[in-house]
Amino acid sequence: MAKATPGRGQIGKPDIQAAAESPARSASRVEQVRTEYVVSAGRPAASLAAQGAAGAWVLYRNQFLSSSAQTQISEIRKGASASNLIGMAEALRVPRERIYQLIGLSASTAKRKLARNETLDPPMTERLNRIGAIEKLAEDTFGDPVMASAWLQTSNLGLGNVAPLSLLDTEIGCREVSRILNAIAYGGAA
């Protein structure tokens, strides 16, 4: 197996190994991203909302996840705003089209829903919130949204050498990613 050259990861995927080999450069890059986008579980809602689409998404996600099961069911049936697609893409630092794929939405339908300020249908809203729960679990596990996003986009041996994000379009994939995150957080074999 060929050894990866430090700093030369796959296109569009963070190279965590290279970051580990260059701490000063990595710290500088992380600080730059944090300056542009700061989200913390302890930040007030007004601060999150001021951060644009990503902040609004994180606020929605956290409110959804902290609500009762009955409230969550009601929210899913009502449908989430399509604008959450943009916020999720910004928060995860991926192209919007990647989020559309994970939710099961064509790009043209997503653009129409966004332009008309429409809501997602219940199955799409449920997928959106299921992915949001994994995103939150990754942030809690790594203690940092930047690191969580990087981990979700990096191939993982415990998941068949695919990026965790690529599995989040199915409930089973979400369970597998959750299993790995819990193993990281609490120790034990993944």
**Which residue range(s) make up the domain with 133?**
39-186
Distance of CA 110 to CAs 32, 73, 77, 141, 165, Å?
A: 30, 23, 19, 31, 19
89 domain residue, yes or no: yes
Distance of CA 188 to CAs 90, 140, 156, 161, 182, Å?
A: 32, 17, 16, 19, 9
120 domain residue, yes or no: yes
69 domain residue, yes or no: yes
- pTM for the complete prediction? 0.73
Written as one letter, the residue type at 45 is A
The domain total for the chain is 1
List of residues 6+ apart from 48 with CB closer than 8 A = 39, 55, 56, 58, 59
**Structure-block tokens of residue 55:** 């902040």
Task: Examine the pLDDT at 177 and tell me if it is beyond 60.
Answer: yes
Give pLDDT tens digits for 98-132: 999 999 999 999 999 999 999 999 999 999 999 99
Lowest mean pLDDT among 39-43, 53-57, 123-127, 154-158: 39-43
CB of 40 within 8 A of CB of 55? no
92 domain residue, yes or no: yes
Which long-range contacts does 14-21 make (Cβ < 8 Å, 24+ apart)?
Answer: 14/149, 14/150, 14/153, 14/154, 16/150, 16/151, 16/154, 19/150
State the pLDDT at residue 187: 84
117 domain residue, yes or no: yes
The mean predicted confidence, pLDDT, of the chain is 81
- Radius of gyration, CA atoms only, the chain: 17
49 domain residue, yes or no: yes
17 domain residue, yes or no: no
21 domain residue, yes or no: no
Annotate 30-57 with b (16+ C-beta within 10 A) or e (fewer): eeebeeebebeeeeeeeebeebebbbbb
By the 10 Å C-beta count (0-12 exposed, 13-18 middle, 19+ buried), 1 is classed as: exposed
